Amino acid sequence: MAPSLRIGSIVVDCVDFGRMLEFWQAALRYTPLYPPNGGWVILGDPQGVGPNLSLNRVPRRPPGRNHLHLDLYAKDRQKEVRRLLLLGAKRHRQAYGRDDDFRVLEDPDGNLFCVVQT
């Protein structure tokens, strides 16, 4: 039996909506499915393969840590980390083991995400 639910979009609350939109469009090369409207946009994979990423403007950062993050798979993790840093990501303080295949970054609004070597 086919699943009746699937991940259609991953939603990220953000304070700096314009900067976040610019960053995630460049990072993933996704495009808006509809024009941004009132601090809301759905970015979609132009190939139709990956999940949508939605950005939702909020007036302030919610208290506490954001427990949602993305794992971005990369064929060349080092190259992608450099590219994302140039786009405005920051390195997150993280201790890594010798065999760890990921690096943790923060997007311009401070949300954590991982770049994973595939």
Domain extent at residue 114: 69-118
User: Which one-letter DSSP state was computed for residue 114?
Assistant: E
Give the three-state DSSP class for 43: strand
Q: pLDDT 10s per residue in the chain (118 long)?
A: 555 567 789 989 899 999 999 999 999 999 999 999 999 999 999 999 989 999 989 898 767 656 578 989 999 999 999 999 999 999 999 899 999 999 999 999 998 899 999 9
Same domain, 53 and 105: no
Same domain, 54 and 107: no
pLDDT reported for residue 60: 86
In whole angstroms, give the CA distance from residue 41 to residue 21: 8
Q: Based on the structure, what is the number of domains in the chain?
A: 2
Total residue count of the chain as it appears in this document = 118
Same domain, 20 and 42: yes
> What's the CATH number where 91 sits?
3.10.180.10
pLDDT reported for residue 63: 73
